[in-house]
Amino acid sequence: MNFVDKQCPYCEKKTNTKDINNSFYKSSNAYLEILKKKYTSNNSISFDDFVEKNLKLVKCDECKIIFFKKWFDTETAKIIYNSRPHRVGWGSFNLFYDQSARLKNYIKRKINIFNCINSKIDKIDKYAEINCPFSGLMLLFNFAKKNYNFKLNILENLIKERSFFNDLFLKISNRIRILFLSCLLFHEKIKIKISKKNKYFEFLNQEKKFEIPLDIRLIKIENNNLSWNYNCNNMGQNCRKIFTYFENFKSVTFNEVEDESRKNNFKFDLSYLENTIDHVSDIKKTLLKLSALSQNIAIITHGIKAGPQHLYFLNEEFISNYSKLNGFRLSILTHEITSKDNNEFDNQFYLLSKLN
């Protein structure tokens, strides 16, 4: 585990900075657990102290972004993001897959956010998110489709996946896996037959006071080393592969939508970035592309408390500056959504609307 000097990730150069206290990281962080295991116990100071001593949190004088001026080197960052799948993302996926008791609260929270944004925008027909398919509203939109069973769809698609193995043992174990999935599918079908209707349909009908956008896209950002990407695998599949099972939801690249935008005057009514934009290596370029393609951008940030697996943190000063310089009107929705005042430590909710 090594630490290196970093320049401002937005200004992309060495800028003057002000130090920010980062001693509140003390509480153990699941994303750094893997580094802790590798940290040898014969060191004279504890892992938490070692990390705190080596990280240096600052605010850029120019763009006001908060970032680590001293952070993990590339190899260590890779270990953080490649060692296991994205906990929060797959955790959300599992809520919908298992339809566990916590799902209702999760859905309520997401609907609350979506409706708050929706009330401030004319229409949300064309909708986009970036990178992580399970952080924003994609799961909710997919789950809330009429006459649709989330788990059934996932199982049917998993069974359809073809894998090829030269090795006989792997061939057999894959057959067993398919057989096991088929049993789960059969069990799920019986369950649906018996219960006749999904217990969540009634709940969703009461709660759901929103329309699912007509055009839903997930923009993949390649060459990104602040996120899980190809290593975000569970149930034998990558998270983005699972996203392709969501019927009519499209997985696209920036190049593809930029072409479409030029040809057909295409723009997203809403680009929704919930805890995803601060997991992008190239923040300036990505924001610029999204700004050109979107009428509105919702940004939900990680607060500083979310931990040092994030190289940088967006905050009110940064977003406010960015909005002014790029022709957006800024609404700060944090209090309306969370009943907390907007602050750098916790999640913040911003809506940027293009001034015409």
The yes or no reply on residue 61 touching Zn ion (CB under 5 A) is: no
Name the residue nearer to Zn ion (CB basis): 8 or 300: 8
Identify which range of 5-13, 33-41, 169-177, 198-206 contacts Zn ion by CB under 5 A: 5-13
**Nearest residue (CB) to Zn ion, 15 versus 237:** 15
Sole window of 13-21, 216-224, 279-287, 319-327 interacting with Zn ion (rule: CB under 5 A): 13-21
* 10 part of the interface to Zn ion, by CB under 5 A: yes
Judged by DSSP in three states, 52 sits in helix
Q: Is residue 12 at the binding interface for Zn ion, with CB under 5 A as the rule?
A: no
Rounded to the nearest whole angstrom, what is the least distance from the CB of residue 7 to Zn ion in the complex?
8
- If binding is defined by CB under 5 A, does position 311 make contact with Zn ion? no
Query: At which residue do the structure tokens 């993302």 appear?
Result: 89
According to CB under 5 A, which one of 35, 63, 113, 137 is a site residue for Zn ion?
63
Cβ neighbours of residue 134 closer than 8 Å, sequence gap 6 or more: 86, 88, 89, 90, 92, 93, 239
Please report whether residue 96 would count as binding Zn ion according to CB under 5 A.
no
CA distance 213 to 327: 25
Choose the stretch contacting Zn ion; rule: CB under 5 A; options: 11-19, 178-186, 219-227, 292-300: 11-19
Q: Report helix, strand or coil for 281.
A: coil
Write out the two tokens for 143: 């789950």
Tell me: does residue 58 bind Zn ion (CB under 5 A).
Answer: no
Residue the block writes with tokens 């894998």: 163
140 near Zn ion, rule: CB under 5 A: no
**Cβ closest to Zn ion, residue 17 vs residue 295:** 17
Minimum CB separation of residue 58 from Zn ion in Å reads: 10
Among 3, 7, 11, 94, binds Zn ion (CB under 5 A): 11
Q: How far is the CB of 13 from Zn ion (least distance, A)?
A: 8
* Residue of 118, 60, 119, 121 whose CA lies nearest to 328: 121
- Joined together, the tokens standing for residue 145 give 């489709």
How far, CA to CA in Å, does 286 sit from each of 17, 130, 189, 205, 343? 23, 10, 43, 36, 24
CA distance 312 to 221: 18
Among the listed residues 36, 22, 43, 48, the one whose alpha carbon sits nearest the alpha carbon of residue 79: 36
Q: Check residue 252 for interaction with Zn ion (CB under 5 A).
A: no
What is the C-alpha separation between 324 and 24, in angstroms, rounded? Answer: 32
- Site residues (vs Zn ion, CB under 5 A): 8, 10-11, 15, 60, 62-63
